[in-house]
């Protein structure tokens, strides 16, 4: 039988009612209400569910706010990920939103939709989608590993994700590669920074991702066998990248460091991006990002070689041909030549 007791202030005035249920085989249930009738209705409902064997304990979700969940998640889960630093920054952004003050038990898809709309006023849809992915995983971990039962399940799954814009199709224009190379060499001489000319050339020769290039070690470079082994990649699958003669010559021109890193232990993907952006300014090239070099490299593999789609996917690390297609933007002239039966590169 439920126990209902009045809660009083310091003057003896009743300010609410505390309902408590203790039933063998079930965790204690306690909730406070403004009206005694509300406490009685809740108590009868909970006891009826217990009698039918249908009771589900939501007390942990009622006690835990989204703020507390994300705090535990970034302490226990985020450090185990390769992209921990990036995820920490996303969590820091989410924690500044008022939604984090709400208990998990009352969060709905509508609440997450409001978060989505608020963020879309500030950032691009792709950024919002990445933040929602972090939230969704945090809810999944809470339910699957921490035994926090959410009354409505994962609320991110109950709302519409923002539609991401079409993928970029930026290719290098006439003379842009040469201008970038000149500007990169000048940048190295004036700033004594990282070997951006070699990094840019290698990106175009291999299609490697920015992070993969930044983390290169000589231990995994085999110039005689013409391969680079990547033990850690963005999609979590190790792969070996074949090196063209051009790529081998690029790496032969890089002085091998004592610490074993190809570009230096202090280099990180973001430093490559910042340097590349400055180089593009020097070269008077607009709307070009470092990742566009990967688009260019992959498209060139299709245009200038007889490699199959599966072989190119093995080189670039794309797990599906659908993912690979997002990075290939073939020039219409090359497609027209192939309609006439000309070989790639011919």
Q: What CA–CA distances, in Å, run from 237 to 27, 101, 231, 294, 319? A: 44, 38, 8, 18, 9
Contacts of 98 (CB under 8 A, 6+ apart): none
Distance between CA 330 and CA 340 in Å, rounded? 16
Is 318 catalytic? The answer is yes
Neighbours of 207 (CB within 10 A): 24
Distance between CA 310 and CA 204 in Å, rounded? 20
Of the residues 116, 119, 195, 294, which is catalytic? 294
Instruction: Yes or no: say if 159 and 116 are a contact pair by the CB < 8 Å rule.
Output: yes
Of the residues 74, 90, 209, 300, which is catalytic? 209
Instruction: Yes or no: say if 203 and 213 are a contact pair by the CB < 8 Å rule.
Output: yes
Distance between CA 309 and CA 154 in Å, rounded? 37
Is 245 catalytic? The answer is no
Measured CA angle at 274 (ends 269, 276), to 5 deg: 95
Of the residues 90, 210, 295, 318, which is catalytic? 318
Is 329 catalytic? The answer is no
- Which tokens hold the place of 107? 């969060």
The residue assigned the tokens 């990106």 is 203
Distance between CA 270 and CA 305 in Å, rounded? 32
Distance between CA 53 and CA 87 in Å, rounded? 40
Distance between CA 268 and CA 55 in Å, rounded? 51
Distance in angstroms between the alpha carbons of the first and the last residue of the chain: 86
Of the residues 17, 73, 187, 327, which is catalytic? 327
Is 327 catalytic? The answer is yes
**How many residues are there in the chain?**
346
Is 97 catalytic? The answer is no
Distance between CA 239 and CA 224 in Å, rounded? 18
Distance between CA 334 and CA 328 in Å, rounded? 13
Of the residues 36, 161, 291, 338, which is catalytic? 291
Of the residues 234, 270, 274, 342, which is catalytic? 234
Q: Which residues are catalytic?
A: 209, 234, 291, 294, 318, 327
């Amino acid at each position: 039988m439920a126990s209902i007791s009045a809660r009083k202030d310091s003057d003896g005035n009743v300010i609410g009612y505390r309902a408590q249920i203790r039933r063998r085989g079930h965790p204690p249930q306690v909730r406070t209400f403004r009206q005694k009738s509300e406490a009685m209705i809740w108590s009868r409902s909970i006891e009826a569910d217990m009698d039918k064997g249908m009771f589900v304990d939501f007390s942990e979700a009622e006690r835990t706010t989204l703020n507390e969940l994300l705090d535990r998640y970034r302490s226990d889960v985020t450090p185990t990920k390769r992209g921990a630093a990036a995820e920490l920054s996303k969590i820091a952004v989410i924690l500044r939103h008022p939604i984090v003050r709400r208990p998990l038990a009352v969060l709905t898809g509508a609440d997450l939709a409001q978060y989505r709309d608020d963020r879309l006023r500030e950032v691009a849809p792709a950024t919002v989608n990445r933040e929602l992915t972090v939230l969704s995983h945090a809810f999944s971990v809470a339910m699957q590993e921490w035994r926090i039962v959410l009354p409505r399940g994962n609320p991110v799954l109950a709302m519409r994700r923002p539609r991401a814009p079409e993928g970029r199709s930026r290719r290098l224009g006439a003379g842009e590669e040469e201008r970038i190379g000149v500007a990169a060499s000048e940048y190295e001489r004036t700033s004594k920074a990282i070997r951006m000319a070699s990094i840019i050339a290698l990106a175009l020769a291999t299609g490697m991702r920015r992070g993969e290039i930044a983390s290169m070690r000589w231990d995994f470079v085999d110039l005689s066998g013409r391969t680079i082994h990547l033990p850690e990649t963005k999609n979590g699958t190790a792969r070996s990248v074949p090196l063209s003669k051009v790529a081998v010559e690029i790496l032969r021109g890089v002085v091998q460091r004592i610490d074993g890193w190809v570009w230096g232990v202090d280099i990180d993907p973001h430093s490559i991006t910042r340097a590349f952006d400055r180089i593009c300014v020097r070269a008077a090239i607009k709307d070009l990002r470092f990742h566009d070099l990967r688009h260019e490299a992959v498209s060139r593999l299709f245009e200038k070689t007889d490699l199959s789609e599966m072989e190119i996917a093995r080189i670039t690390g794309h797990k599906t041909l659908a993912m690979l297609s997002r990075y290939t933007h073939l020039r219409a002239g090359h497609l027209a030549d192939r309609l006439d039966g000309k070989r790639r590169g011919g």
